[in-house]
Amino acid sequence: MFHRIFLAINLPDKVKVGLVKHQEKISEMFTSSGFRDPVRWTKKENLHITLVFLGQTRDVMIPEICEETEKVVSDNHAFFVGLREICYAPPRKMPPRMVWASGEKSEELALLQAGLEKALMNPSGREAKMGGKRAYSPHITLGRIRTWDFKKIAPEERPQIREDIVLDFPVESVEIMESNLKRTGAEYTVMESIPLIK
């Protein structure tokens, strides 16, 4: 049996509430101009920072994933993440594929993500589907853009989405998550929560 697995940092509820307010504000920017909102917004409970995406994984591999993840996480201290901007993404891509909240790079987060990625390389020697050799930059997907609807809006009429924000929160654990794709959207389940050193 296969499970769709990823490693993530889940967000405090107050941060999720703050991000949902920004989702609602941007949605209003589209609809108040007479357009259909072209963004499929991420549910509040699904907002997170992905560290490593492992994808379809055999259930027999999950104990090893948990063990390797615990080894890395238990060597890292808790730290803070600061979210600083909401914008179209990826940067400089048009039409954009999503709206996200980007965060400040931090040494603690970079070391944690790189350590997890290295520990969870698959048997063929290819790295997990996140980061690679690029510098890791944290972001939270607020919504995915329906390209067809977005292209119906003339470039000069599209809302300019680029907003500075200040949302800081502590990262005290890493979660091993399972994603179940359903008609109503993805549903995430925490398989294991591993605390960082306090």
How do residues 61-87 score in pLDDT, each as one tens digit? Answer: 999 999 999 999 999 999 999 999 999
* Sequence-ordered alpha helix ranges (H) in the chain: 13-31, 62-73, 107-119, 147-151
Q: Residue 1: its pLDDT value, please?
A: 87
Q: Residue 134: its pLDDT value, please?
A: 59
Percent of the chain with pLDDT over 70: 92
Q: Measured between alpha carbons, how far is 185 from 44 in angstroms, rounded to an integer?
A: 12
Q: What is the CATH number of the domain that holds 60?
A: 3.90.1140.10
Q: Residue 186: its pLDDT value, please?
A: 86
Q: Measured between alpha carbons, how far is 5 from 56 in angstroms, rounded to an integer?
A: 7
Q: Residue 54: its pLDDT value, please?
A: 94
* 3-class SS string, 135-159: CCCCEEEEEEECHHHHHCCCHHHCC
The model's confidence at residue 122, banded by pLDDT at 50, 70 and 90, is low
Residue 128, pLDDT > 80, answer no
Q: What is the mean pLDDT of the chain?
A: 91
Q: Give the least confident one: 83-87, 105-109, 121-125, 194-198.
A: 121-125
Q: What residues make up the domain containing 82? A: 2-195
Domain count, the chain: 1
The model's confidence at residue 135, banded by pLDDT at 50, 70 and 90, is low
Q: Measured between alpha carbons, how far is 85 from 83 in angstroms, rounded to an integer?
A: 6
